Amino acid sequence: MPPQAPKLKPIVEGQDQAETLLFVQGWPDDHTLWDELVALLRDRYRCVRVDMPNYGDAEQQRWGYSHEQMVLGLAALVRQVSPGRPVTLVAHDWGAYWGYALHHRHPELVKRIVGLDVAPHFQPSPLEGLFIATYQSWLMAAFVAGGPVGDWMTRGFARVAGTPKQGAALHASMNYPYLYTLRDIVTGRIRRTFQGYWPDIPLLFVYGENKPGRFHSQRWLDHVRRRAGNEVVALKESGHWVTNDPQLSPLVRDWLERTEPALAH
């Protein structure tokens, strides 16, 4: 019996008959992360946003959903909002992780990708690996603890990380991706998640350089650059939340417009 998928509710703006852009974010953000970018794109595209489970006004589930369930939920959402037509995916953080997995499992649903700061393949240095393991363990422990203690731990790390959302908007139940990542590491699933996945569709990868840990590998950057029309952009002053950088919105808009002619053939 297949795992239960979350029921994701689309938030739709823009042109009804235009190409659909699907925006997917990660920890600890809701659909408002994309306000600036959607404001720039909705006159030309159909923009679909979504709050993930335990975020914003979405359904609340004590133990959240596994990565496999999230991908199933996204696949169902794409089929709902764009039946018979693949979408362009714009994704950040865990949204990018799930988005690449969506394309890997269901290539017919995605025709191009804007991946922000997280790649499907990364190879951290020992210090970067220690940083990643430390903060993910903290957030996983906050999720398991739950309640006031888990909320305090979550909000404390959000302050340190400088996340766009702060305070009471954040709570421990948002941290479920870290628990399921540990499960996937222990069971070996994580090695199979992107095995053989080197996408050959139009792809823009944007990452911030001003952060303690990279979530991509050099091999990934080389792969993206290999296809004509693809781009890799490093924002030197940005951290993990490249969505805060004023350069991002026009950068994405211009790349979308440049790659449209190739999709028509």
Quick check: pTM over 0.75?
yes
Note the pLDDT tens digit of each residue in 146-161: 999 999 999 999 999 9
DSSP codes of every residue in 54-77: TSTTS---TT---HHHHHHHHHHH
User: Across the 265 residues of the chain, what is the mean pLDDT of every consecutive 10-residue run?
Assistant: 82 94 97 97 97 93 95 97 97 98 97 98 92 96 97 97 95 97 92 93 97 95 96 96 96 95 69
Q: Where are the beta strands (DSSP E) in the chain?
A: 10-14, 20-24, 46-50, 87-92, 110-116, 203-208, 231-235
| pLDDT 10s digits, 28-86 | 999 999 999 999 999 999 999 999 999 988 999 999 999 999 999 999 999 999 999 99
CB 77 within 8 A of CB 109: no
Asked whether 131 and 139 are in contact (CB, 8 A), the reply is no
Residue 107 is given by DSSP the state G
Q: Show the domains of the chain with their CATH numbers.
A: 10-123+194-263 (3.40.50.1820)
